[in-house]
Chain A
Amino acid sequence: MKFFKSLSTGQRTIALSLGFMLVLSIVRLFTNADDLTSSGTISSTLRVATPILLAGLAGVWAERVGIVNIGIEGMMIIGTWFGGYGAWKWGSWAGIGLAIIAGSLVGLLHALATVRFNVNHVVSGIAINILAAGTTEYLSIIFFKGQQGGGESQSPAGKGGYGQFDMPFLSGGRIGSWRSPDMMGWIEKKHNLPLLPDLAGFVRGLCSDIYIPTIVAIALVPITAYILWRTRFGLRVRSSGESPQAGESLGVPINRLRYQAMAISGGLAAFGGAYLSCVFTSTYRQGQTGGQGYIGLATTIFGNWTPFGVFRGAILFGFPSALKFRDEKNVPALLLVIAVILVAASIVSLLRNKHLLATGLLIGAAVSAATYFLVDAVPQEFVAATPYIVTILVLAGAQQQLRPPAHAGIAYRAGENH
Chain B
Amino acid sequence: MKNQRLQRMLVTSASSLLAVFVALCICAVILLITGKDPIEAYKTLFGAAGDTKVLQGALNRATPLMISASAVAIGFKMNLFNIGVEGQMRVSLLATAVAGAAIHLPAPIHVLFCLVVAMATGALWAAFAGWLKVKRGVNEVISTIMLNFVALSLVAWAFDAFFRVDSATGSLLVKTKELPSSAWFPDIVDRRLNGMFFVAVLVLVLFYVLVWKTKFGFQLRASGANPGASRVTGVNPKRMIMISMLLSGALAGLVGMRSLLGDVHAYQNNLAEQQGFNGIAVALLGRNHPLGIFISALLFGYLGEASGRLQLIDIPKEITTIMTGIIVLAVVIINEAVKRWDDRRIQHKAALALEAVAVAA
Answer yes or no: are A and B bound together in one complex: yes
Residue among A70, A139, A395, A397 facing the most chain B CB atoms (10 A cut-off): A395
**Number of A residues, CB within 8 Å of B:** 43
Do B157 and A379 touch (CB < 8 A)?
Answer: yes
One of A120, A301, A395 near B136 (C-beta < 8 A): A395
* Residue in A123, A128, A131 whose CB lies within 8 Å of B284: A123
Residue B166 is within 8 A (CB to CB) of chain A in the complex = no
A388 and B149: CB pair below 8 A?
yes
A142 and B332: CB pair below 8 A?
no
For the complex of A and B, the 9 pairs showing the least CB-CB separation, nearest first, are A134-B321, A131-B325, A385-B153, A381-B157, A130-B325, A134-B322, A141-B316, A381-B153, A137-B318
- Segment with Cβ contacts to A, from B2-10, B138-146, B193-201, B288-296: B138-146
In-complex Cβ contact of A127 among B34, B149, B328, B336 (8 A): B328
Contact indicator per residue, chain B 311-335, by CB within 8 Å of chain A (1) or not (0): 0000010111111111011001100
29 A-B pairs with C-beta separation under 8 A? A68-B141, A70-B145, A117-B332, A117-B337, A119-B332, A119-B333, A122-B81, A123-B328, A124-B332, A126-B280, A127-B325, A129-B325, A134-B319, A137-B318, A138-B30, A138-B319, A141-B316, A142-B34, A294-B149, A379-B157, A379-B160, A381-B157, A388-B149, A391-B146, A392-B143, A395-B136, A397-B136, A399-B136, A399-B137
Among candidates A130, A137, A385, residue contacting B154 with C-beta atoms closer than 8 Å: A385
Min CB distance, A130 to chain B, in Å? 4
Q: A291-B149, A381-B154, A388-B149 known; A113 and B333 CB under 8 Å?
A: yes
Q: Is the CB of B329 within 8 A of A113?
A: yes
Residue A384, interface by CB 8 Å: yes
A133: nearest chain-B partner, CB-CB: B321
Q: Could you tell me the distance between the alpha carbons of A117 and B339 in the complex, rounded to whole angstroms?
A: 11
A392, B324: Cβ atoms under 8 Å? no
Q: How far is the CB of A80 from chain B (nearest CB, A)?
A: 16
Complex Cα distance A129/B280, Å? Answer: 12
Interface assignment of A389: CB less than 8 Å from any CB of chain B: yes
The residue on B at minimum CB distance from A404 is: B139
Question: What residues of A have a CB within 8 angstroms of the CB of B319 in the complex?
Answer: 134, 138
Query: What separation, in Å, do the CA atoms of A123 and B280 have in the docked complex?
Result: 9
Query: Do A131 and B329 touch across chains, with their CB atoms under 8 A apart?
Result: yes
Any A CB within 8 A of the CB of B132: yes
B281 cross-chain contacts in A, Cβ below 8 A? 126, 130
- In which size bucket is the chain B interface? 35 or more
Given contacts A120-B332, A131-B326, contact A395 B150 (CB under 8 A): no
Q: Which of B81, B132, B141, B284 contacts A392 (CB 8 A)?
A: B132
A323 contacts chain B at the CB level, 8 A cutoff:
no
* Residues of chain A lying within 8 A (CB to CB) of residue B115: none
Q: In whole angstroms, how far apart are the Cα atoms of A54 and B335 in the complex?
A: 34
For B358, what are the chain A residues with a Cβ–Cβ distance below 8 Å?
none
**Do the beta carbons of A124 and B145 come within 8 Å of each other?**
no
Complex Cα distance A28/B138, Å?
37
CB within 8 Å of A: which of B7-37? 30, 34-35
Cα A384 to Cα B153 in complex, Å, equals 7
How many contacts between A and B, using CB within 8 angstroms? 125
Do the beta carbons of A126 and B321 come within 8 Å of each other? no
Task: State whether B332 touches A381 (Cβ < 8 A).
Answer: no
Chain A residues with CB under 8 Å of chain B are 68, 70, 113, 117-120, 122-124, 126-135, 137-139, 141-142, 291, 294, 297-298, 301, 379, 381-382, 384-385, 388-389, 391-392, 395-397, 399
Tell whether A137 pairs with B138 under 8 Å between CB atoms, given A124-B329, A130-B325: no
Asked whether A123 and B316 contact (CB < 8 A) given A134-B322, A137-B321, A381-B156, the answer is no
CB-CB under 8 A from A134, the residues of chain B are 318-325
State in angstroms the CA–CA spacing of A132 and B146 once bound together.
20
B298 contacts A by Cβ under 8 Å: no
Query: CB of B161 within 8 A of chain A?
Result: yes
How far apart sit A397 and B81, CA to CA, in the bound complex (Å)?
22
- Neighbouring A residues of B246 by C-beta, 8 Å: none
Query: CB < 8 Å: which of B132, B156, B280, B284 contacts A396?
Result: B132
**CA of A395 to CA of B138 in the docked complex: distance in angstroms?**
6
Given A119-B333, A381-B153, A388-B149, 6 additional A-B pairs, CB 8 A: A130-B321, A134-B322, A384-B149, A384-B153, A389-B146, A395-B132
Whether B136 lies near A119 (C-beta < 8 A) is no
Residues from chain A with Cβ under 8 Å of B323 in the complex = 134
Q: Is B74 an interface residue (CB 8 A)?
A: no
The yes or no answer to B250 lying at the interface (CB within 8 A) is no
Q: Is the CB of B146 within 8 A of A127?
A: no
For B141, give its contact among A70, A119, A139, A291 (CB under 8 Å): A70
Q: Mark B124-137, 1 if CB is under 8 A from A, else 0.
A: 00000000100011
In the complex, the chain A residue whose C-beta lies closest to that of B31 is A138
**By the criterion CB–CB under 8 Å, are A131 and B322 in contact?**
yes
Q: Which of B143, B146, B284, B323 has the most CB of A within 10 A?
A: B146
Q: How far is the CB of B236 from chain A (nearest CB, A)?
A: 21
Contacts of A133 in B (CB 8 A): 321
